[in-house]
């Protein structure tokens, strides 16, 4: 006789979630008022410095300089330049978020997992979409100016 056992419902609790043992880091003290603005700027600057360690970001930064230089050479309008700058800043933001996703996944789940792989792939796809948006806009602006 072939019997099928019902699946047990497992509840996820703090006790059942695997933990990552790491050295505890002390959180910085909370700041308020104008000091908060300076602290926030410092955190943003630290994020930019961290992002500069990523090869992909350095490539994107170089490409951004080439595109903006091409816009200047071709005599692109100020409006076209501003749209491109906004797209470039959005690309940098997506790259920062993608890097954050990768670091969080590596920290929380150092072993390979399908969910971790999906999270990283989705972040990478978001960056690819922004690269495509930048390329499409640059081609739309530059092609008529250089081949008009």
Please give the torsion angle defined by the CA atoms of residues 68, 90, 96 and 106, in that order, rounded to the nearest 10 degrees. -120
* Residue 30 annotated as part of some ligand binding site: no
* Residue 26 annotated as part of some ligand binding site: no
* Residue 102 annotated as part of some ligand binding site: yes
* Residue 35 annotated as part of some ligand binding site: no
Q: What is the DSSP letter of 100?
A: H
Between CA 85 and CA 93, with CA 89 as vertex, the angle to 5 degrees is: 170
* Residue 10 annotated as part of some ligand binding site: no
* Residue 121 annotated as part of some ligand binding site: yes
The catalytic residue among 9, 26, 95, 103 is 95
* Residue 60 annotated as part of some ligand binding site: yes
* Residue 124 annotated as part of some ligand binding site: yes
* Residue 56 annotated as part of some ligand binding site: yes
User: Are the C-beta atoms of residues 130 and 90 closer than 8 Å to each other?
Assistant: yes
User: Are the C-beta atoms of residues 95 and 60 closer than 8 Å to each other?
Assistant: yes
Instruction: Give kind and range of the element (H or E) at residue 57.
Output: helix 55-74
Which tokens go with 74?
A: 């071709």
Task: Return left, alpha or beta for 109; rule: phi > 0 is left, psi -120 to 50 is alpha, else beta.
Answer: beta
Active-site residue, 103 included:
no
Q: Which residues are annotated as a binding site?
A: 43, 54, 56-60, 95, 102, 120-121, 124
Q: Which residues are annotated as a binding site for substrate?
A: 56-60, 95, 124
Q: Which residues are annotated as a binding site for ATP?
A: 43, 54, 102, 120-121
Catalytic residues: 95
């Amino acid at each position: 006789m072939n019997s099928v056992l019902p699946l047990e419902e497992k509840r996820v609790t703090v006790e059942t979630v695997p933990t990552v043992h790491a050295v505890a880091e002390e959180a910085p003290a909370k700041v308020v008022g104008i000091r908060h603005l300076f602290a926030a700027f410092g955190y943003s600057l630290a994020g930019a410095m961290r992002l500069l360690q990523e090869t992909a970001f350095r490539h994107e930064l170089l490409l951004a300089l080439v595109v903006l230089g091409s816009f200047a050479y071709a005599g692109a309008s100020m409006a076209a330049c501003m749209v491109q700058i906004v797209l470039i800043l959005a690309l940098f933001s997506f790259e920062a978020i993608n890097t954050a996703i990768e670091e969080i996944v590596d920290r929380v789940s150092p072993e390979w997992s399908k969910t971790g792989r999906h999270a990283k792939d989705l972040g990478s796809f978001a960056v690819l979409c922004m690269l495509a948006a930048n390329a499409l806009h640059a081609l739309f602006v530059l092609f008529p100016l250089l081949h008009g």
